[in-house]
Copies of this chain bind each other. A is one copy, B any other.
């Protein structure tokens, strides 16, 4: 089971899991209306390009469907949306539970809609299958943003694998962009491998932290600090301001020890409060500077092309592994070979060869 989970596919299907609930109640009403007929992919695309939120939600549900029959239709819709997508900034936000991601996104999102932007908030949270949508699941945490007609909030797709959840979110970005959303925020929890997936689908990656007695050092997953284009210390309010500033200085010093980024961007550190809204406009200012710089040196566009290719190759890779490890004869042989390898009874390469020979001889 362990290895099966590890190699499971981006296209993996799981029966019996219902797609996540739609949060906005008026959207639910619209969908009920829309559901009276089964829209064609052409109708869905027209709806999306017409900025119809019901059509958008319907298309996302199609993308998230675990029914293989829906796959082809989903691909038709996405491919038709592609020429109209891409005109956005995609922002990844990560941070361990407790840093106040939801309140930050609420404050930041409201600030952006206030500037006239259309903001879609998505999430990658593979754990949501178990916790029933731990991220973005709790409407009350984004009360204001949920009611904002220029914001669209969609909880994490479910699925038993990160690859599956990531694929669905990646395609949902395309649909949201085609529907006119120009600012895409993708939230993820600061645990597991989901940051790497989110980092591979965004332009700007923001690490949210809090200060505290020494705890600015805790809970950063390896490698995350290096991925960050900005580290923002949240909850810099009241008694916390001094500690937040100290943490900021500390992180700033550490960031300078990392090698220069390919983007030419020098990661920044800042403090903010999602409660008092101090520092929230500055976060957007930083992102704007990043966009100006990386569009100027063309890194922005190159990175998006690279990301596209990454997802193609990654999907192929995952499918190849899934096919291999689901092969009945491999399933029979895998455990004994794994054990033999772990106990140094056979070299890892010799064991791999035995399995590969079995697989390819068919």
Contact = CB atoms under 8 A, between A and B. Distances in A.
B349 A170 contact: yes
B254 A82 contact: no
Interface string A229-257: 00000000000000000000011011011
A226 interface: yes
Pick from A222, A324, A349, A350 the residue with the most CB of B within 10 Å. Answer: A349
Contacts of A253: 253-254
A311 B312 CA distance: 24
A337 interface: yes
Contacts of A71: 353
Pick from A83, A85, A223 the residue with the most CB of B within 10 Å. Answer: A223
Contacts of A220: 257-259
Contact of A312 (B217, B313, B315, B341): B341
Contacts of A345: 79, 82-83
A5 interface: no
Contacts of A323: 360
Interface residues of A, number: 66
Contacts of A167: 349
Contact of A226 (B10, B222, B309): B222
Nearest to A343: B305
Nearest to A174: B347
A219 interface: yes
Number of identical monomers bound together in the oligomeric complex: 2
A82 B170 CA distance: 45
B217 A347 contact: no
Interface string A58-93: 000000000000010001001100110110000000
A183 B342 CA distance: 21
A346 interface: yes
A217 B256 contact: yes
A342 B321 CA distance: 24
Contacts of A254: 253-254, 257
A313 B337 CA distance: 11
Given A75-B353, A312-B337, A316-B355, 15 more contacts: A10-B349, A78-B350, A83-B345, A217-B256, A221-B259, A225-B258, A250-B257, A254-B257, A305-B342, A308-B341, A309-B348, A310-B348, A316-B352, A317-B317, A320-B356
17 contacts: A6-B313, A75-B353, A79-B350, A170-B349, A171-B349, A218-B259, A226-B226, A250-B257, A308-B344, A308-B348, A315-B349, A315-B352, A315-B353, A316-B355, A319-B356, A320-B356, A323-B360
